[in-house]
Amino acid sequence: MRISELAQRAGVTVHALRHYERLGLLLPARTASGYRDYPESMRREVVFIAMSRRIGFSLQAIGELLPAYRAGRLSIETMTDALHERAAALDRQIADLQALRAQVLDHVSWLRAQEARQRARPKTSRPWPQSTARKEKR
C-alpha cells in the first residue's frame, strides 16, 4: 500500500511515517518507480509506534522495543515493565512540576508583599528628585 493509505488506515500523518522511516523505525520496500510500498503487516507496527508515542515513550525507546514486537517476542512482562518505568518517569515529572508551581506561587506572594509595602509608604509631593543642574540655575 502507498504511504497515504497507510497513514489513513493507521491514524497518523504522512509526515510522521516519513519521520519514522528517517529514524529507521520503518523500512518500506520501494516500487520500480520509487514509491514506498508498505505491506499490510506494517500497519500494526505503525499503530504500535503511534500508541506508544501517545503515552509518552520516546522514539528511541520505541525503537528498542520494535524488533521484539515485529518478531512476536515482545512479552507482556517486558511491556508492563516498560509501562511501569514510564509511570515512574511521569511521577518524577509531576513532582518537578509541583515544585515549580510552588516556586511560582512563592514569587506571586513576594511580589504582592512588595506591592503592599509600596502602597504603605507615604507619598511625597515631589516623587522624583531634581537634578543638580536645575538647582544650580536657581
Q: Is the dihedral of CA 28, 30, 36, 42 positive or negative?
A: negative
Q: What is the pLDDT of residues 47-104, one digit of tens each?
A: 999 999 999 999 999 999 999 999 999 999 999 999 999 999 999 999 999 999 999 9
Per the CB < 8 A criterion, the answer to whether 64 and 78 are in contact is no
pLDDT at 125 over 90: no
Mention the CATH class of domain 1-74: mainly alpha
Q: Report the pLDDT value the prediction gives residue 82, as an integer from 0 to 100.
A: 95
Kindly list the domain boundaries of the chain, sorted by start residue: 1-74, 75-120
For 33-45, the pLDDT digits (tens) are 999 999 999 999 9
Q: What is the per-residue pLDDT for 130?
A: 66
d(CA 102, CA 100): 5
Amino acid at the residue 70: R
The whole-model pTM stands at 0.72
